[in-house]
Structure formats: structure tokens, C-alpha cells
Structure 1
Amino acid sequence: MRKWKAQPTPRVWLAVILMIITAAGSGFFFVEVAQALRVPIEAWAINLNLYLRFLAGVALLIVTALVAYRVAAALTLSYGLDRNGFYIFWLGNRMVVPLGQIESIESSAAVADRVGLSHSLGYFYGSFKLPSGKIAQRFSTRPTKQAIMLQTSSDAYIITPNNTDTFVQELEQRQRIGVIQQLTLGVEAGRFFSYAFWDDRVVRQALVLAFSLSLILLGWLAAIYPQLPPMIDLRTNAAGEASVLSPRHQILFLPLAAFATLLINAGLGITLYLRTPLGARMLQMASAMIQLLFAVAVLTIVR
């Protein structure tokens, strides 16, 4: 197989700069939160303002991770050709396009394509519809007008191989020779990032719900924490009377335990998904239910 790297692009370095900025911002907020919690746990000044700073740190950390993924994808983007197919590689993934299905190779200079920031970070990716009705998929480091387009009967691929002329000549030569094995069109996902798990709609919805409930519970508790008495009843007897009074900071262990359960179930789901997708889905749905149960427990205590 012969491979071509994608054309170099300044977008990668712009993405790197953005990644550094968001990482620094996340670190700034986390340091502020850490400084506020350096005192003994009984003296923690938990309030909504501290929680919002923590939430800002989490949001920026997520953005940093997403940008880092795009940078890594851009740096590993490459294209390949062999006797039977055309391939696009990125981060351990491989898109396979049977050589016999490629009908034309042409410039995409005339293609009208509007790309938002979310689909041009690091490199151009995502899909859009051509006037012919075909779905064009971007895997390029340059704007569409500066790329080339491979077309099949139903799809198109916008690409920017380094040394485009050599790539086109090689592709045309291999098409003339003919294929010796029929390939299946599709994406072969790498296992490192567990794409199958994250691409499952039930898993994603359950995780988003569980994560949202966890953040809402923690935020609500942070908002009411200053009004809680120094000692609260975490347990009651059969008559409903307080049987054990505990320092109020112990109520914080409930949402933290719920969040820890979410992380553990997500980790187990990633491990189990390829063997039992249903079991992995059930774990994530259980995570959402656990957030609700812990929320009810907190409401019961502070009512």
C-alpha cells in the first residue's frame, strides 16, 4: 500500500493554541477551587459561586479534550491506495472505499460549501449534501475549493493529499489495472477510543442524563449549603426522629458517591460493550437512576 500525508495546514496550530488557552483556563478555575478547599473540611466555604467556578473548570476541560482529539486526528490524517481500495486514516480509524466504486476524480473548486467552526477545527470534517444529491464527506486540511473530490455512485470524499498530482496519477493507474478483491465500503473504527460504545445512542443519552443530574444535584446542594445547620441528621429512627447528628459536610459525600458510581459504570460499560452491548447500556441507565436515588436521599435529609 502507498500512503500520502494530508497537506500541512495552519489550522492545526491554531487548534493547538486554543487547546493551550482552554487548558490554562481550566487549570485557573481548578486552582481557585483547590485553594478554597485547602482549609479543614469542616470549614469549607461551599457555595454557588465556588460551584460555578468548578463547573467552568469542568467545561473548559471538556473543550480541551475535544480540541486535543481534533489536533490528534489532524496530525494523523493520511490517505492510502492499494490494488483494491482507497483508504482514509485518522487516529487508528480507517475508511475503506472500494476502488471499483470510484467513478470520478475531480477538483472541488466549484463546490459551494459553508463550514462552521465546529467542523473546521484542526482540519475540515463532517458531511454535506451536493447539488446532485450525493453526500460529500470532508477529510481535508484545506477548504473545499482547494481540495479534490472522489465520487462514487452515492457519495463523495473531499480530500487533500500531499502531492496531489502523484496521488491522482497513482489512483488512475490502479483503476486501469483493475481490482483483484472486492472490498466493503465503510469505516473500520479503531479500538483505542471505544467508538462503538460512544456511538451507541442509548449509551450517549443515558450518560448525558446521568451527568446532567449529577451536576444539577451538586449545584443545588452547593447553593443551599451555607444555610444548612452545622450538624444535620443523616439517620432517623422508626419514629422519624434524628438518631445520629453529623457534621453538615458529610452530606457532600452523597453526590460525590453518585458521581463516582457514574464513572465506574462508564468504565465497565466501555470494557463490556463489545461482548455485551445490552449489559453496557443497562449500566449507563442504572447510573442515571442512581443519580435520582441519591437526589431523593439528599432532599430527604435537608427537607
Structure 2
Amino acid sequence: MRERPAHGVGLLSAGIIAITLSIVVYVLVRTLVNQPIGLGMALTAFLLVVALVFLGRTLFRVGEMLSLLYTVDRNGISIRTMFSRQTIPHSAILRIEESAVTTGDVPLHGMSWPGYMRGSATVEPYGNLSVWATEPLERQLVLVGEEISFGISPSNHQRFVEACEARRNLGPLTEPALELAPAGIATWPVWRDRSVWLGALVGAILDAGLATLTLARYRALPTIIPLHWNALGQPDRLAAKSGVFAIPAIGAGVLLLSLAVGMAVHSRERMGARLMVWGSIGVQVALWAAAWQILIP
């Protein structure tokens, strides 16, 4: 048996949050484009990164909410999203009951908004409670266990409880472990490949350092700067000094493209993915050499 929670309120709330964050991102981008070079621009860029992180996290949780599914069979209950799967054997469930929590004002370690709760909390009388629901705590169905309980919100509580009892009475075919495991794209081996992420980190540090140096030296640059020199060492290509910011931008683009391609091919060509990411560091070094001639004459 499969049961999904109601998504209406949670989707509406998430839409409002996402639209608000998108407006903030738009305003920050417009401000960044029209802002003079300086510390104010750096602060705006930092705020833009923070806003993008929050927007990405919100979209991640929306994906979890829309894919939330409760499955009941003879072996137990499975709570699944597009990124994770919680398996609960029937033997780990002492009873199933309507929530005894009388208030929703409980600190939740995770993320929640009206219509969605995902995280963990310490709640009386259940102790450690893992929440996978689209309803507030006081309207959830609780799978009570000895060490950990689970708060869920199937669309029909009675039907869900009856299905659990019927399948539990049949007895298990196998005894699954009580565990939380990754699912979907979270199972991709690239997430556990330290070499790939170390290369991405080194590349990001080099590019961030180059952007910082560019920003620090910008005011000292002449209005027109050389971008290329001929065989005699004479500049043969000139541009406005604002063009110097294209160098760290190219570095960021190369790093992101290399990481995206590396993640796409990692399951088939692990070494190729690593070479792709680490190869982008060579590009960063070349960009540093080019920028150094311009910024530190």
C-alpha cells in the first residue's frame, strides 16, 4: 500500500518563499550590475550568494516534499523522498497513534514552513521524534518506537493504520533493519569521491583568490589596460579596465562546467571525471598568470 500526504498548503507556502527569494536575488543582481567597484559591491555579491543558497535549499526541500511517500508492506513501513529512504520494520513500532503533542511550538532541527516539516525534535511524550510530514505536530500520526518515533501525515490516517495492522498480522517475509539510507541521485558515487570534491574546492579557492585580488587592485589600474602582448613584449590588445573581471568569471565558468560534466560521467568514467575537475585547476593557474601581468605590472 502506498499513501501520499496532502501538498496544497506546503506547496503554496513554498511558492511564496521561492518567489520572495527570487525577487531578492533579482534585486541584488540589478544592484550588483549598477554598483561601483568597491567594498559595497563585495558585500552585495556576498548577500547574493547567501540568497542563492537559501533559494537552492528551499527548492531542495520542495523536491523532498513533493516526492514524500509512505509505503506499507509485510516487512514494515518505508518513508521515501527523492533523496532518502527511512525503513522501519514492524517490530520496531510499539504502536501507532494520533499525536499527543498539544502545541506546534517545538524546536525542530531541520527545515519547516507552513505545510511541511522535515527534521528531528525532542518532544514529550515521545522523546526523539523524526518528522516527515506536511501537517503540524498536533495533527500528525506517530509511529511510536522505543528509541525513536516517527511523525508522518498520510492523507487518510484510518486507512493507513488499518493497512499497517493487516500487513503486520501477515508476518514479515524478511526482517529489514531500522535505517536511514540515501535514495535517488543521493546514491550517486560521485558524492563520496573525495578526489572530485577536493579538486573542486582547490579550484574554488583559486578562483575566489583571483577575484579578491582583482577587486583589491582595481582602483590602482589605469583606465585602459593591456590584455595581450606580441612577441616583442609590446601590448597589442587594449580594453577598459572593467574587462579584468572577465578573468575570474572565466575561471568560475570553467570550474562549474568541469564539475557538471564530471558528475555526469562519473558513474561510467570515474578517472575521467577526476581529470576533468582537476584539469580545471590548470586553467585557474593560467588565468592567475594572465591576471598577474595585468594587476601587478
Whether these two folds match at TM > 0.5 is yes
Q: 1:167 aligned to 2:160?
A: yes
Is the 2:76–2:87 Cα contact (8 Å) retained in structure 1?
Answer: yes
Cα shift readout 1:126-157 (whole Å, capped 9, x = no counterpart):
23568999864321223444433325565432
Residue 263 (structure 2) aligns with = 270
CA distance in 2, matches of 1:156, 1:133: 6
Q: 1:189 aligned to 2:187?
A: no
Give 1:279 deviation, angstroms.
5.6
CA distance in 1, matches of 2:175, 2:242: 64
User: Which of 56, 69, 74 does residue 65 from structure 2 map onto?
Assistant: 74
Q: Percent identity?
A: 24
* More divergent stretch after superposition (287-296 vs 11-20): 287-296
Give 1:5 deviation, angstroms.
1.9
TM-score, scaled to structure 1:
0.73
- What is the alpha-carbon root mean square deviation over aligned residues? 4.0
User: Which of 51, 55, 59 does residue 60 from structure 1 map onto?
Assistant: 51
Is the 1:27–1:57 Cα contact (8 Å) retained in structure 2?
Answer: no
Residue 221 (structure 1) aligns with = 214
- Count of residue pairs the alignment pairs up: 290
Q: For residues 262 and 115 of structure 1, do their structure 2 counterparts lie closer, same or farther at Cα, with a shift above 3 Å needed?
A: same
SS in 2 for 1:119: strand
Matches within 5 A, 1:74-223: 74-91=65-82, 93-109=84-100, 113-115=106-108, 119-121=111-113, 123-128=116-121, 136-151=129-144, 155-183=148-176, 185-187=179-181, 189-191=183-185, 196-198=189-191, 207=200, 210-211=203-204, 213-223=206-216
Is the 1:9–1:141 Cα contact (8 Å) retained in structure 2?
Answer: no
Residue 40 (structure 1) aligns with = none
Is the 1:87–1:94 Cα contact (8 Å) retained in structure 2?
Answer: yes
Q: For residues 63 and 296 of structure 1, do their structure 2 counterparts lie closer, same or farther at Cα, with a shift above 3 Å needed?
A: farther
- More relative contact order in 1 or in 2 (CA 8 Å, sep 6+)? 1
Is the 1:73–1:91 Cα contact (8 Å) retained in structure 2?
Answer: yes
Residue 21 (structure 1) aligns with = 20
CA distance in 1, matches of 2:173, 2:77: 14
Is the 2:100–2:125 Cα contact (8 Å) retained in structure 1?
Answer: no
SS in 2 for 1:97: strand
Give 1:54 deviation, angstroms.
4.5
Cα shift readout 1:38-74 (whole Å, capped 9, x = no counterpart):
xxxxxxx655544544444443233223212222322
Give 1:19 deviation, angstroms.
1.0
Q: Which runs of 5+ in 1 are unaligned?
A: 38-44
Q: Which runs of 5+ in 2 are unaligned?
A: none
CA distance in 1, matches of 2:274, 2:126: 35
CA distance in 1, matches of 2:88, 2:205: 39
Q: For residues 100 and 198 of structure 1, do their structure 2 counterparts lie closer, same or farther at Cα, with a shift above 3 Å needed?
A: same
SS in 1 for 2:234: strand
SS in 2 for 1:167: helix
Q: For residues 250 and 5 of structure 1, do their structure 2 counterparts lie closer, same or farther at Cα, with a shift above 3 Å needed?
A: same
Q: For residues 130 and 53 of structure 1, do their structure 2 counterparts lie closer, same or farther at Cα, with a shift above 3 Å needed?
A: closer
CA distance in 2, matches of 1:170, 1:96: 17
Give 1:278 deviation, angstroms.
6.3
- AA aligned to 1:30 is V
Cα shift readout 1:88-121 (whole Å, capped 9, x = no counterpart):
23237544334454444345535995215x5214
